[in-house]
Amino acid sequence: MSEDKELEMLKQKKIKELMKRIENQNKQINPKDILLTRLVDRGDEVLKIAETHYPKETEHIVNQLIQLIKDGKINNSVSGGELLSVFRNAGLRITVPTSISVSKDGKMTSLSDKLKGKKE
């Protein structure tokens, strides 16, 4: 009988330790990582640019997006264009640098150089 009680106490202790580990792992997850896992198509680049230019506003918008993800209102991925649209609708003027490259003979040249007639 005493062995059964000891065994039961050991099981309870082990269960408590496992529960604490699980809680600690859940606490260590950065809420921003939740959003970063959903960003696709240059979404992370748009987020970095927004944080650089508008840190306070971006933090507020990111927190709102994280809450929507947690609530299940955003189920699929968020593209860079969609994220840019969210920031622009919030009144934040964010510009993402873009360039068009053309491949010829295995060499990549920018479209502006191609139009100017530069040869490489």
3-61 confidence digits (pLDDT tens): 777 878 888 888 888 888 877 766 666 778 778 888 888 888 888 988 888 889 888 98
Residue that wins the pLDDT comparison between 68 and 119: 68
Residue 22 inside a domain? The answer is yes
DSSP tally for the chain: helices H, then strands E: 6, 4
Give backbone dihedrals phi and psi of 102, rounded to 5 degrees, phi first: -120, 135
Residue 21 inside a domain? The answer is yes
CATH of the domain at 12: 1.10.8
Q: Which residues contact 50 (CB under 8 A, 6 or more apart)?
A: 57, 58, 61, 83, 87, 92, 94
By residue range, what is the domain housing residue 20? 2-95
Q: What is the pLDDT of residue 28?
A: 63
Q: What is the pLDDT of residues 73-101, one digit of tens each?
A: 888 888 888 888 988 998 888 888 888 88
pTM, whole model, 2 decimals?
0.60
Residue 120 inside a domain? The answer is no
The answer to whether 37 and 76 have CB atoms below 8 angstroms apart is no
Closest to 39 measured CA to CA, from 99, 71, 84 = 84
Residue 37 inside a domain? The answer is yes
